[in-house]
Structure 1
Amino acid sequence: MAPPLVRRAVCVPLLFVLTLLVVVLFPVVWPVATLMSRLGGERNRAVRLLWFALAWGVLESSAVLACGWLWCRSLGRTERSKDRHYEIIRRYVAGLHRVAQRRLGLRLDVSGSSSAEPEGDRPLIVLSRHAGPGDALLLVHHLLTDYRREPRVVMKALLQLDPCIDIAANRLPNVFVAPGGGITEQIEQLAGTLGPRDALLIFPEGGNFTPARRRRAIRRLVRMRRHREAARAARMTHVMPPRPGGALAAIAAAPNADVVFVAHSGLEEMDSVGDVWRLVPLTDVVRAHWWRIPAEDVPVGREARLDWLYAQWEQVDAWIGAQHTGTGGGQRRGLETGECF
């Protein structure tokens, strides 16, 4: 990964140029895309994606400019500046969420339980399935907007090629995972400083689910002679086995944090640009299910916690399987009425 100054010297001007290009060409391209969509019977795919590209560019450029303005005013040194950076991210991801609903047909249906909701506020460790484009943005959006949490995210270092993520996320407490991993200590330090309204978001699978990646992950467990975990992973067909290092390090470093597990289904088929083109607008509802485990109910000891983590991940897999077979019952609710994380 290139140094920050090099990344920003290249990616920020490129963002502005591409956004300006879309804005200038939009009045010309939009009628052509509309005509092509109608003649081809493509459900206005080209028009929908064109609108989304325009909105993304404008929202991202605005967020980058807002970060630049904050830097000029405060040099990113104060707690107030931290809150303002979270507000910039909140507006950015909320805008993308609205555009995805309006232009791409995104619909969310979330189920969960708040029976273990503690009195007062507690930090959260959120362990989510990772599959399909945008699931991280959706989670960050709802943590910020609906639950008024300040998310700390463990994410791939490659995402720093996105100017907004590069600038805003590097000014906030996050962890970027470089190829080869080795960031357990950083996750532990990040979890150890969680405040009562903070949420640490981790994707234990380490990347977006695909069948090929799942098979490679199981073979990796076999090579490491972790045969019991490999056998359990082989029985889970909709998720990759969790990589326990980061999750267990976070739980150990934040013993007062509740743990939230998130399963979702509906985005996993969008694994390539071709898949996005084929599936837009989305005709199926994106469904999610979460459950919260109080800190006092988390087992003690690494082996017990490892077994517990796999048991929870088996629940994630079972829930996704139920959605695929159409047997996922239970009372569902809109996220807008959501439980308070």
Structure 2
Amino acid sequence: MPPRIVRRLVLVPLVIVLAVAAVVTLPLWLVVVTAASMRLPPPQRRGVRFLWFGVTWLVLECGVLVACLGLWVASGFGGRLHRDRHQERHYQLIRWFLSHMYGVAVRVFRLSVEIDEPPGDVRRARPVIVLSRHAGPGDSFLLVHHLLHLYGRRPRIVMKAALQLDPSLDVVINRLPNAFVHRRTAESGIIEEIRRLSATMDADDALVIFPEGGNFTPRRRRTAIRRLEEKGLQEEAKRASALDHLLPPRPGGAIAAIEACPEADVVFVAHTGLDDLVTIGDVWRRLPVSARIRAHWWRVPAAEIPASRQDRIRWLYDQWEAIDDWITENRPPEGAGSPAPPGP
């Protein structure tokens, strides 16, 4: 990962140049992509949609970077960035960016998201630890968008360091209580970052964790089960073998978060719809004309969380089995991503 000063001096101007070039040459690219797409069958004519989405992303990235510069100046050239007022402005900026990108995704990819949530006051003033499955493109962005937009939460998340190659993400997220971890960071280091973020949460904060550690693939599932067996964790290995759609949860991070913030409720999130789209190639080849995501979440109050570590591990596997069962019942059938009827 390049040093921060290199990322600022190289990647930020590069994004601005790319955005200007993309906007200026957009008519030409539309003609080229449309002509190339005509040689493909209708379900695969997705080039124009990706082009429009990419250009919009670049333009909004530039807007975020300009706003970040203004916020930096307004904070006394960075001297007051960590005060609550300036932190809230950065959360508002993230909310603005994700709301616009979500709106574009709804129009361009005909994205729809259906959320099944429990009744009652879901916005009550308590910190929450959000444990979600990890599957499909952009699930973390959708989750953060809904936490900010629907529930008024301020999300905290541990992310891969490589995401700092996105300039706007690099600038904004590094100004807020989040953590970037390198690929070779030991599990103990990741757990310590989770503990740090959880320990300082307020009533409107939400710590987001993906206990699987990555997207589900059959190979990763086999590897995870084998590692459990090698560690002598036969009960966990047996329960992991019964999961059809999920990797076994890694309990260390979740338990560390609960220990560091014992007053926090825990929210579990199940979702399905774009499960088989893992790589950029998958998205290009198989993204349906209309994308429908279903999500279901439930809250476990802090008082109902088991006390001992071993009981918490069993409890975590119980919740993961519930997510797996929900996915089995709600996952769209093979080939469900058929083209939507023509529209404006």
Instruction: Give the TM-score taking structure 1 as reference length.
Output: 0.90
* AA at the equivalent of 1:30: L
Match in the other structure for 2:340: none
Match in the other structure for 1:95: 100
Alpha-carbon distance, 1:281 to partner? 4.1
Match in the other structure for 1:324: 331
Match in the other structure for 2:208: 201
Whole-Å Cα distance in 2 between the matches of residues 98 and 10 of structure 1? 30
* AA at the equivalent of 2:161: A
Whole-Å Cα distance in 1 between the matches of residues 226 and 7 of structure 2? 36
Per-residue CA deviation, residues 167-208 of structure 1 (Å, 9 max, x unaligned), is 100100012222233221221121111101111111111112
Equivalent residue in structure 2 for 1:171, among 154, 169, 175: 175
Indicate yes or no: 2:261 matched with 1:266.
Answer: no
Moved more, 191-200 or 19-28: 19-28
Indicate yes or no: 2:48 matched with 1:47.
Answer: yes
Whole-Å Cα distance in 2 between the matches of residues 55 and 323 of structure 1? 32
Whole-Å Cα distance in 2 between the matches of residues 195 and 236 of structure 1? 34
Moved more, 313-322 or 119-128: 119-128
Question: CA 1:136–1:294 in structure 2 vs 1: closer, same or farther (change >3 Å)?
Answer: same
Alpha-carbon distance, 1:141 to partner? 0.4
Instruction: State the secondary structure of the residue aligned to 2:111.
Output: coil
Indicate yes or no: 2:16 matched with 1:30.
Answer: no
Instruction: State the secondary structure of the residue aligned to 2:25.
Output: helix
Alpha-carbon distance, 1:21 to partner? 2.1
Give the structure, 1 or 2, with the largest relative contact order (CA under 8 Å, sep 6 or more): 1
Indicate yes or no: 2:138 matched with 1:134.
Answer: yes
Alpha-carbon distance, 1:147 to partner? 0.7
Per-residue CA deviation, residues 20-69 of structure 1 (Å, 9 max, x unaligned), is 22112211111232233345333441111110011110111111121111
Match in the other structure for 1:64: 65
* AA at the equivalent of 2:50: L
Contact in 2 for aligned 1:130/1:208 (Cα 8 Å):
yes
Per-residue CA deviation, residues 43-98 of structure 1 (Å, 9 max, x unaligned), is 44111111001111011111112111111221124221101110111111111111
Alpha-carbon distance, 1:268 to partner? 1.5
Provide the aligned C-alpha RMSD in A: 1.7
Indicate yes or no: 2:88 matched with 1:83.
Answer: yes
Match in the other structure for 1:333: none
Equivalent residue in structure 2 for 1:220, among 218, 224, 227: 227
Match in the other structure for 1:314: 321
Structure 1 residue ranges, 4+ long, deviating more than 6 angstroms after superposition = none
Per-residue CA deviation, residues 74-129 of structure 1 (Å, 9 max, x unaligned), is 112422110111011111111111111100121111112135x5894111100000
Match in the other structure for 1:331: none
* AA at the equivalent of 1:114: P
Whole-Å Cα distance in 2 between the matches of residues 230 and 10 of structure 1? 46
Question: CA 1:207–1:35 in structure 2 vs 1: closer, same or farther (change >3 Å)?
Answer: same
Contact in 2 for aligned 1:236/1:314 (Cα 8 Å):
yes
Instruction: State the secondary structure of the residue aligned to 1:262.
Output: strand
Match in the other structure for 1:232: 239
Match in the other structure for 1:330: none
Whole-Å Cα distance in 2 between the matches of residues 325 and 286 of structure 1? 9
Query: How many percent identity over aligned positions?
Result: 50
Whole-Å Cα distance in 2 between the matches of residues 239 and 8 of structure 1? 38
Match in the other structure for 1:304: 311
Instruction: State the secondary structure of the residue aligned to 1:176.
Output: strand
Indicate yes or no: 2:297 matched with 1:287.
Answer: no
Moved more, 307-316 or 152-161: 152-161
Whole-Å Cα distance in 1 between the matches of residues 94 and 163 of structure 2? 15
Instruction: State the secondary structure of the residue aligned to 1:183.
Output: helix
* AA at the equivalent of 2:107: R
Instruction: State the secondary structure of the residue aligned to 1:40.
Output: coil
Equivalent residue in structure 2 for 1:244, among 238, 241, 251: 251
Q: Runs of 5+ in structure 2 lacking a partner? A: 334-344
- Aligned residue pairs total 325
Alpha-carbon distance, 1:283 to partner? 3.2
* AA at the equivalent of 2:310: E
Match in the other structure for 1:161: 165
Instruction: State the secondary structure of the residue aligned to 2:245.
Output: coil
Contact in 2 for aligned 1:105/1:281 (Cα 8 Å):
no
Whole-Å Cα distance in 1 between the matches of residues 139 and 289 of structure 2? 14
Whole-Å Cα distance in 2 between the matches of residues 278 and 137 of structure 1? 21
Whole-Å Cα distance in 2 between the matches of residues 29 and 119 of structure 1? 45
* AA at the equivalent of 1:241: P
Q: Runs of 5+ in structure 1 lacking a partner? A: 327-341
